[in-house]
Amino acid sequence: MSRGQGLGARPTPSEGAVLSILWNPAIQRWFRPAGVAALVREQQAGGNASRAIWGLMQIAIWHRIFVEGQTPRRDEEPLDWIA
């Protein structure tokens, strides 16, 4: 098994998810856009900002459920809410 595979391996966010986090209303409301953009640039340049970006994605979903009061349908992917 190569490095990064197996149990406990963290996936990296997709390029689309990374870019969409910039325009998410909850993220724009609660975080400095320049800081979020710096994380995105770091990830795109091959850096390792994936943990911070996953955290932002989770906050965006949490905000939609607990602040906006929306619930995903059974056939709906909550990660699509980030865009």
Could you list the pLDDT tens digit for every one of the 83 residues in the chain? 444 444 444 556 677 777 888 899 999 999 999 999 999 999 889 888 989 999 999 999 999 999 999 888 889 888 787 77
Q: How far apart are CA 81 and CA 7, in angstroms?
A: 27
Helix 50-62 / helix 33-44 crossing angle, nearest 10 deg: 130
Return the structure tokens found at 41: 């640039």
Question: The whole model's pTM is what?
Answer: 0.75
Q: How far apart are CA 4 and CA 2, in angstroms?
A: 6
Q: How far apart are CA 22 and CA 77, in angstroms?
A: 19
Residues 71 and 65: beta-carbon distance below 8 Å? yes
